[in-house]
């Protein structure tokens, strides 16, 4: 008949697997969420630059129309200047033409600098596009990983949970409670002896006790330093056979 300590050792092995499964999945959903946020942020930045390019285009259109209008006005004024009756009228028109020329130069400046501005914006847009693409493909990859893992994960989880249940059926209640109590402090509540030390906290176990453990398999020993349940070094657990058996 198997001793309690054997079941406890198996339980600990199964719990280690369960903890690892939880850990694996633990980070992934958060990583996917963070990448989703990154893709959203990068999309917004990209759209903002597109908007700026559109704005630049509109400003260029306005400048072109206004320049055409100003040019018409100037032409008309120049013709009027030939028909003036006196110097005062002539000066007034000259003044107006000057004013138009000033306005024109403002709009010409808009057109002149828009090329460089557009070039800058397009370079930024390209950069943002490639960063967005990279983030989107990282997201797709992580999503796939999570999906894949969740599928496998559920199968594994089920397998270990079934094994855990059948192990618990063989462990008496007081011991179960004790094991769970230790689990709230240490992930590994039952650990093997290694070279006469507790493999949980590495403190040395008196040799007298090591001997007792070897021959009295019915008694449950705990580490006096960390409180973990100790099982003999030669009690090895093959978790795969626990799950299959
Ligand atoms: Zn210990």
Q: What is the distance in angstroms between the CA of the first residue and the CA of the last residue of the chain?
A: 16
232 CA distance to ligand 1 centroid (A)?
A: 13
pLDDT for the residue numbered 6? 92
CA angle 201, 207, 208 (to 5 degrees): 120
87 CA distance to ligand 1 centroid (A)?
A: 110
Structure tokens at 164: 């855990």
160 CA distance to ligand 1 centroid (A)?
A: 26
Q: Which residues of the chain have pLDDT under 50?
A: 1
The chain-wide mean pLDDT, for the chain, equals 91
192 CA distance to ligand 1 centroid (A)?
A: 10
173 CA distance to ligand 1 centroid (A)?
A: 23
Q: Among residues 188, 195, 245, which one has the least CA distance to residue 222?
A: 188
Q: In angstroms, rounded to a whole number, what is the distance separating the alpha carbons of residues 163 and 245?
A: 8
Q: Please answer whether residues 11 and 164 qualify as being in contact, where contact means their C-beta atoms are separated by less than 8 angstroms.
A: yes
129 CA distance to ligand 1 centroid (A)?
A: 55
103 CA distance to ligand 1 centroid (A)?
A: 86
Q: In angstroms, rounded to a whole number, what is the distance separating the alpha carbons of residues 221 and 182?
A: 13
198 CA distance to ligand 1 centroid (A)?
A: 5
Please give the DSSP secondary-structure letter assigned to residue 185: T
Please give the DSSP secondary-structure letter assigned to residue 191: E
196 CA distance to ligand 1 centroid (A)?
A: 11
Domains and CATH numbers, the chain: 14-168 (1.10.287.1490), 173-236 (no CATH)
90 CA distance to ligand 1 centroid (A)?
A: 106
Q: What is the pLDDT of residues 5-61, one digit of tens each?
A: 999 999 999 999 999 888 878 788 889 999 999 999 999 999 999 999 999 999 999
Distances (CA, A) of 113 to 45, 100, 117: 23, 20, 6
226 CA distance to ligand 1 centroid (A)?
A: 4
Per the DSSP assignment, residues forming a β-bridge with 198 are 193
Q: Please answer whether residues 70 and 103 qualify as being in contact, where contact means their C-beta atoms are separated by less than 8 angstroms.
A: yes
């Amino acid at each position: 008949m198997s001793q309690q300590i054997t079941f406890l050792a198996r339980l600990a092995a199964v719990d280690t697997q369960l903890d690892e499964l939880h850990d694996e999945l633990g980070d992934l959903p958060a990583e996917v969420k963070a990448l989703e946020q990154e893709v959203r942020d990068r999309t917004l930045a990209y759209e903002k630059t597109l908007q700026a390019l559109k704005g630049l285009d509109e400003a260029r259109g306005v400048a072109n129309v206004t320049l055409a209008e100003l040019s018409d006005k100037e032409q008309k004024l120049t013709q009027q200047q030939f028909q003036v009756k006196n110097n005062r009228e002539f000066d007034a028109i000259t003044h107006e033409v000057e004013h138009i020329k000033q306005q024109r130069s403002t709009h010409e400046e808009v057109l002149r600098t828009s090329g460089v501005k557009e070039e800058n914006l397009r370079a930024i847009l390209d950069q943002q596009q490639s960063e967005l693409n990279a983030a989107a493909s990282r997201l797709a990859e992580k999503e796939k990983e999570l999906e894949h893992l969740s599928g496998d994960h559920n199968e594994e989880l089920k397998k270990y949970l079934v094994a855990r249940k059948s192990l618990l059926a063989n462990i008496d209640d007081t011991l179960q409670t004790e094991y769970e109590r230790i689990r709230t402090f240490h992930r590994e509540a039952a650990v093997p002896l290694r070279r006469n030390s507790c493999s949980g906290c590495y403190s040395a176990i008196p040799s007298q006790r090591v001997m007792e453990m070897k021959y009295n398999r019915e008694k449950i020993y705990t580490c006096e330093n960390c409180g973990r349940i100790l099982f003999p070094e030669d009690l090895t657990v093959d978790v795969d056979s626990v799950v299959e058996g």
